[in-house]
Structure 1
């Protein structure tokens, strides 16, 4: 086994890009809350975009490494250290066997992602290694990590081995070494107000004029009751012009539902597959990772975006990832 969990943190789970093709059976997609951070971490260690990583929430774990490994940390800032020495995020890091990687409390953002060359070796369930805690399957026995858990890694690709050899040579006798190049993070709000792009929902026009105005002009605060299933917001009360009995319909990540109390809920990775509350909007896919990095008490404001512009934004993000992959290979000397 590659690592041993000394302390699991608040909520640390194995996640990848999700479990697709089973929503008609009531199985949600799940997967990482911040997909961009997951994909960047994987690229930094030479993995495919979709490989399994550890998703770390609010308070991080302490991990003992039983073999030399190539890792990368992306997402929120948890002040990670290796044997008490600070380690940088957003770059490849080689860590020597016997070293201890410790994550503290989130200083910026809400979630960090730890990738290892080859990806974490846990069973594939319905095409994904992601943990579905509510249903109790995927990841490590369908649950959050616990003290004493042992995790292995899958075989590395040639590029990962190339990076690992470079950094091991650079380390000399040190416990770890970091690449002198990095990719930019910059998606966490750091206690400032997040601005989230939203497409109008199917029932947007059925809300009162005051509610529609408030939705786009006033701020909402993230409730402590938020989780991987949904981000609950508090702020101005949103209400329909006329109470309507709705038939339950399919929902997706980013759906903004408004229950009878008038306080919106942004559905996230572990959302249900159908919902019966009116939908005032949909968070643009490209901004879901920003929502995922918000902590309780932080604020968010919505701005309108067209469907076409939202599609263009996700296309541009995918193109950016391709350029990052090429740039990593060039900086590392692989090409």
Structure 2
């Protein structure tokens, strides 16, 4: 009862919101890159908010289902197919035993997510099911998924406690050019006034050096007062380091725990999904905001998630068998 990995894709791993609390001991947080898509995938199935999902990059996996379950696919548009026929993203999909889920290609965005109503049978390590590839820790054997792997389900949850009234229509990753809002610091005083102006007024390009650890940008030189070398300190998700070459590097989910380069700014939480769904040669600009503004934006995102739930669910008097749910869902799109 579970899924067989027929093709592992380019980089498919088990992830949840991460493994916080261990950076002081040298263990990175890891977790999903796009937390918004991750949350929506679980919301669509009424899963626990932090239930583990499959995250894949640029090239999706091919999965065979050995039992019935319900899934939701979010993130970039990877053009999913079940048994060779196109299916919708951002909705609940009923999967039969023997069904094959595959992806035609990455049309928009660069990362996708698959949530499962039956929950993946992955052990909890240090409070998380996330994969830390660098440490070989957590997830499925501490590594990316390979052809022939098999993951069991840990529950026979083949129903939804609500009637899914409609799918979400989210085309969030169409733009090639984006603006990332940042909070300046904590070492912005290491840069000249002109250097900070360059950072906030220039356009930077996403390079091919872009993975779960970080995103290196190409663009105008950011001038420092003397050197950008500092005594190593902790690194947050979204920290923007500027080494001596003067080009920004944004550190992401699999970032190192500490770093010795000055951090001119930090990308705010609600904008990180936009960044991690970029591709090579996409363009990025930065806009400074205050901590208070960032907090307000985070509160608005939480409110939006709650509104999504009200938009897509209609309460039922009794638990629905997933076969009935599947029939009702299919009628919505006829």
TM-score scaled by length of structure 2: 0.91
What is the 5 A alignment of 1:136-215?
A: 136-155=136-155, 161-162=159-160, 181-188=166-173, 190-215=174-199
* Aligned position for 1:217: 201
Structure 1's 194 and 147: CA in aligned 2 closer, same or farther, altered over 3 A? same
What is the 5 A alignment of 1:94-113?
A: 94-113=94-113
The superposition leaves residues 175-223 of structure 1 with CA deviations (integer Å, 9 ceiling, x where unpaired) of xxxx6611242331x2520111011112223312332122111111111
Query: How far apart are 1:154 and its partner, in Å?
Result: 2.7
> How many residues were matched structurally?
319
Q: 2:209 aligns to what SS in structure 1?
A: coil
* Alpha-carbon RMSD: 1.9
Q: Does the CA-based 8 Å contact 1:13-1:145 persist in structure 2?
A: yes
Work out which of the residue numbers 280, 302, 308 in structure 2 matches 1:324: 308
Q: Does 1:232 pair with 2:216?
A: yes
* Aligned position for 1:42: 42
Q: 1:224 aligns to what SS in structure 2?
A: strand
What is the 5 A alignment of 1:1-335?
A: 1-155=1-155, 161-162=159-160, 181-188=166-173, 190-243=174-227, 245-330=229-314
User: Where is the strand percentage greater, Structure 1 or Structure 2?
Assistant: 2
Query: How far apart are 1:282 and its partner, in Å?
Result: 0.5
Structure 1: any 5+ residue segments left out of the alignment?
167-178
1-structure distance, mates of 2:79, 2:35: 21
Q: Does the CA-based 8 Å contact 2:206-2:280 persist in structure 1?
A: yes
Query: How far apart are 1:156 and its partner, in Å?
Result: 5.6
> Which of 245-254 and 275-284 deviates more?
245-254
Query: How far apart are 1:153 and its partner, in Å?
Result: 2.0
2-structure distance, mates of 1:313, 1:58: 29
TM-score scaled by length of structure 1: 0.90
Q: 2:195 aligns to what SS in structure 1?
A: helix
